[in-house]
Amino acid sequence: MIVIESPVPWMPPDGAPSDDAKIVWIDVDPVQARYKTMEWSADLWLAADAGCTARAIYDAATSMLTQSDMSRIEERRARLQQRKQEQDAAAEERGQRAGHRHPLSPQWVAYQLGKVLEPNSILLDDALSNSGAVQDFAGRSEPSSYFRSGGSSGGWSAGAAQGAKFAAPDRDVALATGDGYFMFGTPMPALWCSAHYKMPYLTVVFVNRSYSTGTNGLKATYPEGAAMEANNFEGGIFDPPPDFAKLAESANGYGETVREPEEVAPALARAMDQIHRGTPALIAAMLPTLVEEMTL
């Protein structure tokens, strides 16, 4: 197993490599010295630049391949390309179908977000329970166009989106976030900074008024527990939620709330127009709670 620049490549015991696996750790700091409370095992530590190392591995591996190997690799590439095309077609069908659902579907919101992003747009994903939908429809294929948090905490994304825009001022930056994680990150300073310095980015908040740990996570962990029997998800729901559109307006940005499928695409178009004019924009998509989503 090769680990490249990953502070948390697995969480024992789930996903941990087998006891007899050989592990090579590649990083500028392969022993993760900056984390004083963590220690990971490896058979070989390489303090090296990830890009240079990857190219060296590729060159070395390529020089060892026979014509038979090359033919086998090409056949596999063709199979995987075909499979990817099938997956893309299935995702397109799911996205189109989601637009007919009432109440508003998170898949439809993610589908429409993917439609307004350019190939080189930078997307930051902090959507948590809706990250699967964001990944399905984001259409990110260029390097450095998709980012997720590498840790276990939520709320990194508002500041990260602002940092991404400062780093790439000529590219559109979009943030897809759950409402809980959005609040964790105290987004007001980032939104104000975005407006003040004319470094705007788009925020799409999936407002399901829920925490996954106290709703579908609770159901998955204790399917026959007292909470399921009583249909009591106290602590997992915060309803009514904050008015996130007004939060954006209070930071001198543009805010809009959508509730119906037909409202999503026009609202995103207006939001993109705002960020191209230099104003940060936020679209709050009002969704069913995760408890309600279990029944849909």
Task: Using the 3D structure, point to which of 10, 44, 63 is the last residue of a domain.
Answer: 63
User: Do residue 213 and residue 125 come from a single domain?
Assistant: yes
User: Do residue 118 and residue 256 come from a single domain?
Assistant: yes
How many other CB atoms are there within 10 angstroms of residue 218's CB atom?
A: 21
Higher confidence at residue 37 or residue 120? Answer: 120
Is the pLDDT at 13 greater than 70, yes or no?
no
Is the pLDDT at 150 greater than 80, yes or no?
no
The per-residue pLDDT for 96 is 96
User: Do residue 115 and residue 259 come from a single domain?
Assistant: yes
pLDDT class for 31, splitting at 50, 70, 90? Answer: confident
Rounded distance, CA 25 to CA 2, Å?
Answer: 6
Closest C-alpha to 112, from 90, 138, 147, 146: 138
Q: What phi, psi does 228 have (nearest 5°)?
A: -65, -40
The per-residue pLDDT for 269 is 98
Judge whether 87 lies within some domain: no
Number of domains present in the structure of the chain: 2
Give pTM, 2 decimals. 0.85
User: Do residue 49 and residue 169 come from a single domain?
Assistant: no
User: Do residue 14 and residue 142 come from a single domain?
Assistant: no
Closest C-alpha to 121, from 140, 107, 102: 140
The per-residue pLDDT for 153 is 76
The per-residue pLDDT for 9 is 83
Instruction: Determine the structural domain holding residue 271 and report its residue range.
Output: 99-293
Is the pLDDT at 215 greater than 70, yes or no?
yes
Residue with tokens 């099938």: 86
Is the pLDDT at 273 greater than 80, yes or no?
yes
User: Do residue 207 and residue 271 come from a single domain?
Assistant: yes
Q: What is the mean pLDDT of residues 207-214?
A: 92
Cβ contact 173:122 at 8 Å: yes
CA-CA distances (angstroms) from residue 162 to 193, 199, 235, 273? 8, 7, 31, 18
Q: Judging by beta carbons within 10 Å of its beta carbon (0-12, 13-18, 19+), is residue 75 exposed, middle or buried? A: exposed
User: Do residue 104 and residue 34 come from a single domain?
Assistant: no
User: Do residue 141 and residue 241 come from a single domain?
Assistant: yes
Cβ contact 194:253 at 8 Å: yes
User: Residue 175 sits in a domain of what CATH number?
Assistant: 3.40.50.970
Q: Per-residue pLDDT tens for 174-191?
A: 999 999 999 999 999 999
